Amino acid sequence: MTLLCLTGLTKSFGGLMAVNEVSFDVPEGAVVGLIGPNGAGKTTVFNLITGNHRADRGTVLFEGTDITRWRTHRIVKLGIARTFQTIRLFQNLSVLENVLAGCHCRMRSGPAAAMLRTPGARREEKAALERALAELAFVGLAGQEMQLAKNLSYGSQRLLEIARALATEPKLVILDEPAGGMNEQETAALIGTIGRIRQRGITTLLIEHDMALVMKACERIVVLEYGSRIAEGTPEAVQGDPRVIEAYLGTED
């Protein structure tokens, strides 16, 4: 079953065509990689999916619903969460508070109920705390709950962003260069985390420049160059595609 379907997605900034008629599907339960040289339009595609940018043309369907012009908060509630190429944490809040912020989109109690400490509000707060602690343990940050986010290593901040995304209870998690700033050991652990996210029934779409990670973690890869899709297929097929090799390595004159 197709979870996410992009059709003819196009976006320009002034005279620059960032994304040009990009179409591809993400099957439910899959791990799909979106790769390409710097400036290929990968993050712009993510921003179009998640409502951070509006498409000039084309459609984004999620579970058959057209979300092309939805606002970001509605897209999160529908079941799409993401991390960012440039880390966007609440740096002066604790690790635990950052993940609790992700839980907020699923809480139903309003400000009045929270202030009055109604039984329903207390139950939601307890459930949110349990979920936040579970997600921190899931990504390997158990025991660091009370640290300020800014005091974590860069690699651990990446993991904290993933925990916050998972706390929104997504059906699709979008990871923008999750291995950025990680050492070899951390990257190997991240591959395992992505596999365990899939075991939870959560679909993953990721951008990553670490080709070893992409080849190990992804079952399907989409390749962009200059805003256009130039290849799509299994890791093995994409790795040997002449167009992909040319995009990354160039050709001799």
Residue 241 amino acid letter: D
CA-wise closest residue to 60 among 22, 116, 14: 22
**How many residues are listed for the chain in this entry?**
253
The half-sphere exposure of 172 on its side-chain side, counting CA atoms within 13 A, is: 25
Q: Are 67 and 78 in contact (CB under 8 A)?
A: yes
pLDDT band at 253 (very low <50, low <70, confident <90, very high): very low
Q: What is the pLDDT of residue 249?
A: 61
Residue 247: predicted pLDDT: 82
pLDDT tens, residue by residue, 105-147: 766 655 555 555 666 567 778 888 999 999 999 999 999 999 9
**Could you give the domains of the chain?**
2-79+170-249 (3.40.50.300)
Which tokens sit at 139? 């990504």
What is the residue type of 38? N
> Is the full-model pTM beyond 0.85?
yes
pLDDT digits (tens, 9 = 90+) for 140-179: 999 999 999 999 999 999 999 999 999 999 999 999 999 9
246 pLDDT above the threshold of 90: no
